[in-house]
Every structure is written in structure tokens, then in C-alpha cells.
């Protein structure tokens, strides 16, 4: 795990952008060495740039120059190594995962606040971050980590920062409270052997709500056609939860459609219920009460609810309101993905 001695993440109050404070003696924006060993890659490109070039090539020339300047400034500020550019796409390597995330947020912030030419409109850049151990030859990188981050980029939307689970685990404990990690579920990436749990970086000053990822359920072969799943739809986003997994976990906290939800299984009947896990205006993380399985509590053990979501007791004056129940269906995986082709799957 990376520690703060390598890169400390903070949220700057002056410009509301994430930055890293490195201990390197190299000049600002310069890498002492090309990152090697375990490397974190940041891949980016502009959404819809081909159409913009066809409509207004003269305006796009100036727009691309400004885009490049914003990207290069953010990358240099966090000691990134640009090893390849293709058109408006950047391929960047970082020695640490926090530095890559900081560069991605800083560049998105700069792009979001830029006053773009009205002839082109807002420039939206999609970004993907993945950590792995590539092969380094002649100042270029090769291997499966490059393929995975490229495929991750392909399913995102302009303005979105996607992370692989490998990168998310490296930065989870050093992200400031204002920066969140949203679980977008398990996805099958093209030409990638194993499914990837995709995470999204959420920053208050940047857009956070995007359409479903550009993958289709038909590409996912990790669930048998006759697997029984619990299907949930929130704000137009659909997700399937294998019933056997839910019953094994007992309580599963998740986020869907921008809302915190929890799936709770009654230990006596095996019946699952889905709640919006918000009480008294704040999100809560639900767990089963260890001393009495009839009740749910929060991780702070200050509020208790019964299995219908009704608050029954609290400590230290903690406020509590009923948990809202959400509609769900239980059906075959084949039926669910037929009705919701853009569904994601939660697998643990």
C-alpha cells in the first residue's frame, strides 16, 4: 500500500483541485526516471472529437492546443511521464496511483472551468486509470496493463474518471473525504480475460452523474443464464445481484443511480429487501446487529432499525428516520439482462 511519504493527497481549498505533495528532488514537472515496476497508467481522449474536426477544423486547432496545455500542466504538476500521444489522446505513466488520480482530477477541473469556443462547445474528456506491472522497452510500455486501461477508457464518457479495482485499492485510504469512489459494478471488457470491477472518482466540483457505461450485458459471461438474480433499478440504472451471493453476505451496501442502497436478507426466511440507506438526511452503512438478528444498525452502533426499516432505538440523541424500501424483482439472469441490456452485475 502506498503511504503518505510517497504521495499525500489533499483537496486544495483555493482551487478545489486534488494535488499531490511529492518528496522528489526533481524539478517541478520533470520525472527523475521513467516509472518502472508497478506503474499506474492514465489514458485520456476527447469525446466526439472526430465530428468536431469535421464540422469546424479551424476552431478545433485552437481548442486542441488549449486542451493539450491543460493536460500537460496537470500531468507535469504530478510528475507524470507522457510516453505517447495520438491525436487528442494522452498515454501517461505515474510512479504512484495517488499521483495519477491527482493529475486526472486537476486536468478535469481545468477542462471543466475553461471557456471554450462556442463553435465547438464544451470539451469533454474521458479518463481511465489502471495499475499494473508492464514491460518497459526503449522508453515504451507493453503488456496486459496497457490493454486493460485502454479497454477501460473505451467504456467511459466525457468528463468521467474510471478506475480499475487495482488502482482503487491503492488510493482508497488516502483520498480526502470530499473525493468519493463510486462502485459501477462488474463489467466484461473487450478482449480482456477477466471481468473488471469498475470504480468512478466523484469530486463535488465536477460532474458526477453519467449514462451507463458503454458495455452490454451480452458481453458478460460470468453469470449462467439460469442464475437467479435480484434486480434493482434506481434513476434509470439497473444492476443485478446474484441471490446466492446476497444470502451469503447477509447485508450488502452499494450505490446505484447516485443513491446509497443496501440489500438486506432476513436470516429467518432468506427473503431480501432493498432500502435506500439514508436516515435523517445522511447516508448510513448498515450491518446486522450481532446480538439480535431481528435488527439492523449502523456501523457506529448508534441507531437500530427493524427488518422493515422502522427505527426502534438510538443512542446519544442520534436522529433516525425510516429507511425507504425500493422495488425489486427476482428472476433468471437471462430474463433480467433481456429487459435491461445495459445492466451491471455486482459480484463479490
Q: What is the DSSP string of 272-331?
A: EEEEE-EETTEE--EEE-SS-TTEEEETTS-EEEETTS-EEEESTT----PPEE--EEEE
Domain boundaries, the chain: 16-210, 219-345
Q: Is 331 exposed, middle or buried (0-12, 13-18, 19+ CB in 10 A)?
A: middle
SS3 228: strand
Indicate whether this model's pTM tops 0.85. no
SS3 31: coil
Query: Mean pLDDT of successive 10-residue segments in the chain (348 residues)?
Result: 33 36 37 83 91 84 95 97 94 97 97 92 94 92 93 93 95 92 84 83 91 62 82 91 91 86 92 92 89 89 92 84 94 92 78
The cell for 120 is 465547438
* Arithmetic mean of pLDDT over the chain: 85
pLDDT at 215: 67
| C-alpha–C-alpha distance, residues 14 and 1, integer Å | 29
SS3 93: strand
What is the tens place of the pLDDT at every residue in 45-59?
998 887 788 888 888
The topology (CATH level 3) of 219-345 is: Rieske Iron-sulfur Protein (2.102.10)
Evaluate whether 201 touches 233 at the Cβ level (below 8 Å). no
| C-alpha–C-alpha distance, residues 117 and 126, integer Å | 19
The topology (CATH level 3) of 16-210 is: Alpha-Beta Plaits (3.30.70)
Amino acid at each position: 500500500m502506498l503511504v503518505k511519504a510517497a504521495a499525500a493527497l489533499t483537496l486544495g481549498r483555493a482551487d478545489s483541485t486534488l494535488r499531490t505533495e511529492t518528496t522528489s528532488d526533481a524539478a517541478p514537472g520533470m520525472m527523475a526516471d521513467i516509472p518502472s515496476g508497478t506503474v499506474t497508467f492514465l489514458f485520456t481522449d476527447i469525446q466526439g472529437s472526430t465530428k468536431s474536426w469535421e464540422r469546424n477544423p479551424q476552431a478545433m486547432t485552437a481548442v486542441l492546443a488549449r486542451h493539450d496545455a491543460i493536460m500537460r500542466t496537470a500531468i507535469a504538476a504530478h510528475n507524470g511521464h507522457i510516453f505517447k500521444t495520438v491525436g487528442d489522446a494522452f498515454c501517461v505513466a505515474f510512479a504512484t496511483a495517488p499521483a495519477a488520480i491527482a493529475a486526472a482530477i486537476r486536468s478535469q477541473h481545468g477542462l471543466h472551468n475553461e471557456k471554450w469556443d462556442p463553435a465547438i462547445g464544451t470539451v469533454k474528456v474521458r479518463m481511465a486509470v489502471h495499475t499494473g506491472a508492464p514491460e518497459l522497452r526503449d522508453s515504451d510500455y507493453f503488456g496486459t496493463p496497457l490493454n486493460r486501461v485502454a479497454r477501460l477508457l473505451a467504456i467511459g464518457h466525457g468528463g468521467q474518471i474510471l478506475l480499475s479495482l487495482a488502482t482503487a485499492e491503492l488510493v482508497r485510504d488516502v483520498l480526502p473525504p470530499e473525493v468519493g469512489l463510486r462502485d459501477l459494478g462488474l463489467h466484461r471488457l473487450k478482449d480482456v480475460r477477466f471481468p473488471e470491477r469498475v470504480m468512478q472518482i466523484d469530486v463535488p466540483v465536477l460532474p458526477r452523474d453519467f449514462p451507463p457505461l458503454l458495455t452490454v450485458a451480452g458481453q458478460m459471461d460470468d453469470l449462467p443464464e439460469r442464475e437467479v438474480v435480484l434486480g434493482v433499478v434506481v434513476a434509470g440504472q439497473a444492476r443485478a445481484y446474484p441471490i446466492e451471493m446476497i444470502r451469503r453476505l447477509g447485508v450488502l451496501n452499494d450505490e446505484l443511480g447516485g443513491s446509497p442502497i443496501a440489500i438486506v436478507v432476513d436470516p429467518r426466511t432468506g427473503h431480501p429487501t432493498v432500502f435506500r440507506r439514508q436516515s435523517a438526511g445522511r447516508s448510513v452503512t448498515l450491518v446486522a446487529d450481532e446480538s439480535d438478528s431481528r435488527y439492523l444498525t449502523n456501523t457506529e452502533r448508534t441507531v437500530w432499525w427493524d427488518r422493515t426499516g422502522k427505527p426502534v432505538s438510538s443512542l446519544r440523541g442520534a436522529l433516525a428516520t425510516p429507511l425507504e424500501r425500493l422495488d425489486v424483482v427476482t428472476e433468471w439472469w437471462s430474463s433480467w439482462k433481456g429487459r435491461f441490456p445495459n445492466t451491471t452485475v455486482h459480484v463479490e
